[in-house]
Every structure is written in structure tokens, then in C-alpha cells.
Amino acid sequence: MTNKLDAVLAAAHGHIQLMTHVVAGYPDLDTGLRLVRAMAACGVRIIEIQIPFTDPLADGPTIMAANQAALDAGMTPEDALAWAGAVAAALPEVAVLMMTYANVPYAMGMEEFLRRCAAKSIQGVIIPDLPVDEPEGDYAAMARRLGVHPVMVISPDTPEKRLELLLPQASGLLYTTLKVGITGASSDLHPEALAYLQSLGRRTHIPIAAGFGISQPRHVAALAERAQVAVVGSHVLSLLNHGGIPAVEAFLRACMA
């Protein structure tokens, strides 16, 4: 299966790509659209859009607060999908991924959720708490059948047995955290995390996206030989909160330099 995500990664010609994370409806839909347009203008070609959720268990305080603010403003999963579709239509050069927690697709119906994603030109889905070893249906095969990459999420402490289950199902990207815990900016990337990435790269042919803690251009540079994508989420929202879109643009341009 090929889709826009594959094309974006192929066009990188070995250079690391940035994947930015935004929360649908935060701080509002119009500002969010201006933000993703600015990201694309800075060279970002993969954008992860989160459906606001009441209990985002993998997220730290910055993204959690953005989730709650979007929910307080009335955002629903249907609104988030519609907005993600508008982003995909407005930015044809960008691969849009949908991030959510398992409750949302289960409430909607997994196949219905994936069909809606495909209809909105969403290229991949990220569901970090999905119990992929449950016997009910094959989420990954269903997603691929609809032309949507099932992006599997792992971490340095993923048990070997589970890793062996996840690696064959991964498609498009293999999203790994660089630390155990929740999202949030870090001052440095630990050598153990970089060694882990190098080891992971020897085990899979799927492009690796690495996130959790990336907050400086030198972090992106450190990942360049070990991952294909650097994921920046909490730091982007923190910059937006304190310096607006210009602060986000300055950071992204520094990472791309």
C-alpha cells in the first residue's frame, strides 16, 4: 500500500522530516488552520492532529490542557475529523495523520472511524492505547485495506513479546517514544535513547518516527542518523501559548536549517 505519507518520506531523500502535533480546536479552529499553514510554509510535511479527549493518558500537562480547552469549547470527534479533512484539502503537500485514544474509534465503530479517516484524506492513524492483541478483528489490516496506515506506537520498555507482535503490523511509520512516560519537552536526549533507536532501526524496514522530549534543533540533528522523522508536540504548543505562531515558525525554521 502506498499513500501520501510514503511519497513524503520518499521525497526526503534520507533527510529527517519533522512531524508536528496539534490538537483539533486548540486554541480555536481558525488559529489552528493558520498554525498548520505556517508549519507547511516552514517545510513540515507530516502533521499529526489529535482528537480532543478527556483522559489523554500518554500526554503531559501542555497537551492535556490543550485537549481540555478544545473540549470546553465544544469540540467533538466529528468536528475534529471534519477539521482534519479541511487541513488535508488546504495542504495537499502534507500527509495528515489522525491521533486519538481507543475509546473514540470504539464508540464510533472501528471500521466506521477508519472509513471516515479515509474519506477525509487522512493518511494514517495513531492510537497509542489500542490493545492490538485483542482477538476482535484486525485493525491494522482493516486500515491498510482502506488506504490508511496503522501507525504503531512503542517505547523503550515495550516487552519483547509485544514488540514481535507490533513490528509486522506497523505500516507507514513506526512511532517510538524516546522515554518512558508522558509527552513533554526535555533539555537533552539521553544516550540510552539514541542507542535504543539505533538498535530498533536494525530490526525494521519501516521508517521510524521518534518523539517525546524534542524541544531544540540540536535534538532533531541528533536523531538524523537514527530516525526518519522527529516528532514535536508539547514544545510547539508551548511556543504557541507564549509567543504565538511567529515563535513556532522561528523554531521550525531553525530545525530545518
Tell me the catalytic residues: 48, 59
Distance CA 223, CA 147 (A): 29
> 103 is written with which cell numbers?
475509546
Q: Where are the beta strands (DSSP E) in the chain?
A: 17-23, 46-50, 95-99, 124-126, 149-154, 174-177, 208-211, 229-232
Query: What is residue 150's DSSP assignment?
Result: E
SS3 content of the chain, % helix, strand, coil (to 5): 45, 15, 35
Q: DSSP string covering 13-42, please?
A: TTPPEEEEEEETTSS-HHHHHHHHHHHHHT
- Beta pairing partners, 132: none
Distance CA 118, CA 144 (A): 10
